[in-house]
Amino acid sequence: MSTKRQKRKQPLPAPGEWTFELIEAYHAEIDRVAKNYGLDTYPNQIELITSEQMMDAYSSVGMPVNYHHWSFGKSFLQTEKSYRRGQMGLAYEIVINSNPCIAYLMEENTMTMQALVIAHAAYGHNSFFKGNYLFKQWTNADAIIDYLIFARNYLTECEERYGEEEVELLLDSCHALMNVGVDRYKRPEKLSLNKELTRQRERAEYLQSQVNDLWRTLPTPHVKAQAVEEKRFPSEPQENLLYFIEKNAPLLEPWQREVVRIVRKVGQYFFPQRQTQVMNEGWATYWHYTLINTLYDEGLLADNFMLEFLHSHTNVVYQPSYSEPWYHGLNPYALGFAMWQDIRRICENPTDEDRYWFPDIAGSDWRETFDFAMRNFKDESFVAQFLSPKVMRDFRLFAILDDDKEAKLKVSAIHDEEGYRRVREILSDNYNLGSREPNLQVWNVDLRGDRSLTLRHQAYQRRPLSNDADEVLKHVARLWGFAVRLEVARDDGSVEVLQECRQDRRKTSDA
């Protein structure tokens, strides 16, 4: 931080209780400093809410509006319980990737905390949402709130028309597939409320006709079975189960397809957040730290404010080591904050080691490097690109190899010369959703036979599916309407059918 404190100004008052005037005053200063650092943000909308509303927002996946579902009620109860018991403080803030960017401040926070949250959420996260390529490509900040309102209204309408039970069952099934309902590689269309509304009906009809195409390929009874060349459907394996079901499940009603689509869109919306935890939280933490410290250096903040601020900040970036009972893996705030700080250090005061490891950025302009890194990476690539030996040493990182065929665990690499690359590689892979989550694909539909759907799990490193896979399979069968099969393709090339879930809805609906 710059140490020029010659321009002593009157510090802003820092009472325990916040007021609207003070929030505005603090915001104005933070905004000024953020602009000086060149942070590019959506306009801010700061909303003051109660702790109960915070729990509400929490339990509906952090969105200000959402459709109704029992699982949100469950998570509300969970949150409420641990909050009441004091097991868990609520998050200081929730910030929504929308334009304007909505940040929630909780009523119970002190003035210091409000300032911290403004810097963290309204400038840190906000600028990340606006700049990072994943968010730019996959989400549309202008439309998300409108879309969620559309979704909630649509589902309410469905409940009225088809009954709450029916909609709930459908949502259950969709939620079960939410994490395999995202396009990992393909770019989605932008959301737009008007488009959704005007084209929703058209789409429904169109989709139904598409499905009829699928039916048309069925052999009619009087045509003799002929040796038709086995036509694969889908022609290539599909990674997005929900998308495939929305477009191809033969028995779904149009409204059901729309619901599948809504769940898919919402899941897709959160996909970038899951891929940029370390970067995003680290970035926001870095900026609240930097912005507040800059204000302090200018003499705008009182000492009691800084002490409380540092106390909170330290808690946020605390990283217990593996042997401590409260160890829950790497703290993304801690790792992210350390990495961003380290990047700035490499830019400003590079050592020989840094010059060797990071010839491109050592000694470069830190603002430009930051901007480049923030815009063009996700956790996986960010770690692979920027995790320096110094951070690995500071965190004393080490890798454990756990092979269930071996009797013992093995330390495969540590924070030393031989281990740096390996540790970095493994950590990067840990953040790769593609290897962290099972790889499931729509493999085949038996078009000429029983119309059964085959899902294939491409087992990576012999990792099996968890036990609730058979429950999920039932959900798939409910959506698909016919038998569903789950098979596993192992690394050695063998394929085995794991389970099958029969469901012939035609019989019940024809009866």
Partner 1 sequence: MVRIIDRRFDSKNKSAVNRQRFMRRFKNQIREAVADAISGRSIKDLDNGESVTIPSKDLSEPQFHHGRGGIWENIFTGNDQFSSGDQINRPQGGGGGGTGKGKASKDGEGEDDFVFNLSREEFLDVFFDDLALPNLVKTQLARIHEYKSQRAGFTNDGTPANINVVRSLRGALGRRLALSSPYRGQLRELQKQLDELLQTRSEDDPDVLQLKDEIGILRAKIEAIPFIDTFDLRYNNRIKVPKPTTQAVMFCIMDVSGSMDEDKKATAKRFFMLLYLFLTRTYEHIEVVFIRHHTIAKEVNEEDFFHSRESGGTVVSSALEMMKDILHSRYLNGAWNVYGAQASDGDNWENDSPHCRELLADTILPFVQYFAYIEITPGEPQNLWREYEKLVGAHANFAMQHIEGLPDIYPVFRELFKKKLA
Q: Could you say which residues in the range 346-375 bind partner 1, by CB under 8 A?
A: none
350 vs 419, which CB is nearer to partner 1?
419
State which of positions 115-144 bind partner 1 (CB under 8 A): 122
**How many chain residues touch partner 1 (CB under 8 A)?**
96
Classify 165 as helix, strand or coil.
helix
Residue 108 binding partner 1, by CB under 8 A: no
The binder of partner 1 chosen from 33, 39, 44, 131 (CB under 8 A): 44
Contact 392/381 with Cβ under 8 angstroms?
A: no
Among 148, 373, 426, 477, binds partner 1 (CB under 8 A): 426
Least distance (Å) from partner 1 to the CB of residue 344?
Answer: 22
Question: 480 with 260: CB under 8 angstroms?
Answer: no
**What DSSP string describes 273-300?**
HHH-HHHHHHHHHHHHHHHHHHHHHTT-
Closest contact distance (angstroms) between CB of 392 and partner 1 is: 9
Q: How far are the Cα atoms of 197, 236, 312, 426 from residue 290, in angstroms, in the given order?
A: 44, 49, 14, 30
Q: Residue 232 interacts with partner 1 (CB under 8 A)?
A: no
18, 111 contact by CB (below 8 A): yes
Q: How far is the CB of 242 from partner 1 (least distance, A)?
A: 12
CB of 422 to partner 1, least distance (A): 9
CA angle 282, 288, 290 (to 5 degrees): 95
Smallest gap from Cβ 101 to partner 1, in A, equals 10
- The reply to whether 307 sits near partner 1 by the rule CB under 8 A is no
CA 277, CA 331: separation in Å to the nearest integer?
10
> Which of these segments, 173-181, 300-308, 354-362, 372-380, binds partner 1 (CB under 8 A)?
173-181
Q: If 0-12 CB within 10 Å is exposed, 13-18 middle and 19+ buried, where does residue 310 land?
A: middle
One residue of 148, 151, 180, 306 binding partner 1 per CB under 8 A: 180
What minimum distance in Å lies between the beta carbon of 230 and partner 1?
Answer: 28
Q: Shortest Cβ distance from residue 369 to partner 1 (Å)?
A: 24
In angstroms, rounded to a whole number, what is the distance separating the alpha carbons of residues 242 and 176? 10
Q: Which amino acid is at 386?
A: F
Sign of CA dihedral 65, 69, 71, 75: positive
Closest of 31, 11, 22 to residue 110, by C-alpha:
22
**CA dist., res. 484 & res. 211, Å (int):** 18
Please identify, using beta-carbon distances, which residue of 37 and 398 lies nearer to partner 1: 398
Q: Where are the alpha helices (DSSP H) in 15-142?
A: 20-36, 51-59, 70-84, 111-117, 126-131, 133-138
Token pair 């036990």 in the structure block, residue: 467
Letters for 432-471 (x = contact with partner 1 by CB under 8 A, - = none) are: ----xxx-x----------------x-xxxxxxxxxxx-x
Nearer to partner 1, 373 or 426 (CB): 426
Site string for partner 1, 193-222 (x = CB under 8 A): ------------------------------
* Tokens of residue 274, six digits: 């899951």
* Contact pick of 320, 356, 360, 367 for partner 1 (by CB under 8 A): 320
* Residue among 110, 412, 458, 499 that touches partner 1 (CB under 8 A): 412
3-state secondary structure of 65: coil
Name the residue nearer to partner 1 (CB basis): 236 or 402.
Answer: 402
Among 395, 420, 443, 482, binds partner 1 (CB under 8 A): 395
Comparison of 47 and 365: residue with beta carbon closer to partner 1: 47
Most distant CA pair in the chain, distance: 95
Residue whose C-alpha is closest to residue 242's, from 222, 225, 219, 265: 265
Instruction: Tell me which of 20, 213, 216, 225 binds partner 1, using CB under 8 A.
Output: 20
Q: Would you count residue 384 as binding partner 1 (CB under 8 A)? A: no
What is the DSSP code (8-state) at residue 132?
-
According to the binding rule CB under 8 A, does residue 157 interact with partner 1?
no
Q: Is 230 in the site for partner 1 (CB under 8 A)?
A: no
Cα 210 to Cα 110: distance, rounded to the nearest angstrom: 57
- Is residue 26 within 8 Å of 300, Cβ to Cβ? no
Among 126, 179, 276, 441, binds partner 1 (CB under 8 A): 179
CB of 251 to partner 1, least distance (A): 22
In the range 47-106, which residues lie near partner 1 by CB under 8 A? 47-50, 52-53, 55-56, 59-60, 68-74, 76-78, 81, 100
State yes or no: residue 291 binds partner 1 (CB under 8 A): no
